[in-house]
Chains A and B, each alone.
Chain A
Amino acid sequence: MRRRLGPAALVIAGGLALASCGGSGSGSASSGSGAGSGETELSVSSAYMPQPVSDEMAAGFFTITNKGGAADELTSVTSDIAGQITVHETAGQAMQEVKSLKVPAHGELVLSSGGNHLMFERLKRKPKEGQTVSVELRFAHSGPVKIEMPVKSATYTPKTGH
C-alpha cells in the first residue's frame, strides 16, 4: 500500500520521543492520542475496491494495524469520488451503518468482504479496474491517513484471507 507522505519524517522522530513514556507533555500535537493512554500507531494495508456494478454504490476494504498501545476509532471517511462514504458492519445478513469502528491497541481493524466495509455512495464516476481512488480516513485520536485504494476486479479476493 502506498501512502501519501506529508510531514511524516519529522513527526516520526516526535513519535519516538514520546515512546519514552516520561515526558509526554511536549509530544507532537499531531499525534492526537489522549494523554496517558499511550500512543496510537496506525498503518493501512491491503486496501482495495472491487469494481462496482454501477456508479451508484461501491464498497471498500482494508486492514488498519495499530502497533501503538492506545486504541483508536475510525470515525469518518472521505474521497473526492463519492458524495458520501459510510462505515458499515455486517450483522448476520444485514449491513448497517455504524458511527465508528474500533481499532484496538496492538491489534487490527479488518474491513473485508462479508464483514465490515466502507460504502461509497453518490459516485461521481464508476471506478474501473486498474484505477485508484484516493480516500482519507479520519480517526477519533490519530491524525487523518490518506490512502490510494486500487480498484480491482469485481470478483477479486485478497490472497491473505483478509
Chain B
Amino acid sequence: MRTKTFAAAALLAAASLTLTACGSGGDSDKPVTVVSEQAGSDKAATVLDQPFEKPDLVLTDTHGKKYDLREETKGKPTLIYFGYTHCPDVCPSTMSNIAVAAKQLPKAEQDKLRVVLVTTDPDRDTPAELGKWLKGIDPRFVGLTGDFATIQAGARTLGIAFDPPRKDKNGKIVSEHGTQVIAFSPKTDGGYVLFDEEAGVDDYTKDLPKILKGEKP
C-alpha cells in the first residue's frame, strides 16, 4: 500500500525525470479525456435566428394526468430539457442550475416560469419516480413521461436526438439525455434560446429575466 503526500509527489516528479530515461514510457498515452475549458458565460446561451416551434407533445405529468405541452405552456416562458432520473451526472446538475437561478427571480416571475423535464427513459421514469426526483430539485418543475417514440419524435423537432435506453452486457440500462435546454418565449411560444451543457447557475441567473420577457439574452 502506498500513499503519498504532495511533498513526496514533488520529489518524485523530479525522480521521474530520471525514470523517463529508462525507456518504457511505452505506448503513446494521451489523456483519456480532453476537458474543454469552461466556456465564458456569454457562450452558454445561443440565440436562434430561426426559433423552433414548440413540440406538439401530449404526455403524462407527475400526477399521472394528461399534459398537453402547447396548451399548458402557452404564453408562458418555458424551459424544456430531455433527461432521466437514473442519471448521476449532467441531468441533476442541469435541473439544479435552473432551480437555483429560478429561485432568484421575483416571486411573481417564478410563478410564470415553466420548467419541463421530459424523460428519455419512460420505462423507469414513471410519473411517481419523476415526481419524487423533481421534488428533490424543485417541486414546481413539471416532469413528463409517456411513449418513448412520441418523446423522441418531439425532441427531434427541436434538433435534440437520443437513442432509446438499451442494456449493456451486464444487463444494466444505459439511457441517454439531451445536451441542451431550450427556452421558449412567452411572446411567441417559439424556442429561441439554447443553453448547452456548460451553462451554469450564473448563465441562467443572467438570462432568465430576459427570457421571462421574451427578450434576447
In Å, the complex CA distance between A160 and B111 comes to 35
Interface string of B120-148 (1 = CB under 8 A from A): 00000000000011001100000000000
In Å, the complex CA distance between A144 and B2 comes to 7
B1→A110 contact, CB < 8 A: no
Interface string of B94-110 (1 = CB under 8 A from A): 00110010000000000
Interface hub of A4, A32, A92 (most chain B Cβ within 10 A): A92
B12→A15 contact, CB < 8 A: yes
Chain A positions within 8 Å of B2 at CB level: 6, 8, 11, 15, 28, 30-32, 142-143
Interface string of B1-23 (1 = CB under 8 A from A): 11111101101110110111110
Contact with A38, one of B11, B25, B96, B172 (Cβ below 8 angstroms)? B25
Chain B positions within 8 Å of A69 at CB level: 16, 19-20, 22, 24-25
**6 closest Cβ contacts across the A-B interface?**
A104-B29, A19-B15, A154-B96, A59-B88, A143-B2, A69-B19
| Minimum C-beta distance from B38 to chain A (A) | 5
Chain B positions within 8 Å of A104 at CB level: 29-32
Which residues of A31-85 are within 8 A (CB) of B?
31-32, 36-39, 41-43, 50, 52-54, 56-59, 65, 67-71
A122 close to chain B: CB less than 8 A: no
B19→A30 contact, CB < 8 A: no
Chain A contact residues, CB within 8 Å of chain B: 3-8, 11-12, 15-16, 18-21, 28, 30-32, 36-39, 41-43, 50, 52-54, 56-59, 65, 67-71, 88-90, 92-97, 101-102, 104-117, 119-120, 142-146, 153-155, 157, 161-162
A3→B4 contact, CB < 8 A: yes
B4→A68 contact, CB < 8 A: no
Chain A positions within 8 Å of B13 at CB level: 41, 67
B197 close to chain A: CB less than 8 A: yes
Interface contacts (Cβ under 8 Å), in number, total: 203
- Also in contact, A115 and B176, with CB within 8 A (given A32-B2, A69-B16): no
| Minimum C-beta distance from A52 to chain B (A) | 7
What are 8 of the A-B contact pairs (CB < 8 Å)?
A16-B15, A21-B19, A37-B24, A53-B85, A69-B25, A93-B179, A142-B2, A144-B1
B interface: dominant SS:
loop
A21→B11 contact, CB < 8 A: no
Residue of B nearest to A68 (CB): B16
Given contact pairs A38-B24, A144-B1, a sample of 6 additional A-B residue pairs in the complex whose CB atoms are under 8 Å apart: A59-B92, A93-B178, A101-B32, A106-B16, A154-B92, A154-B96
B162 close to chain A: CB less than 8 A: yes
B50 close to chain A: CB less than 8 A: no
- Also in contact, A7 and B1, with CB within 8 A (given A38-B22, A71-B29, A119-B88): yes
B88→A95 contact, CB < 8 A: yes
| Minimum C-beta distance from A88 to chain B (A) | 7
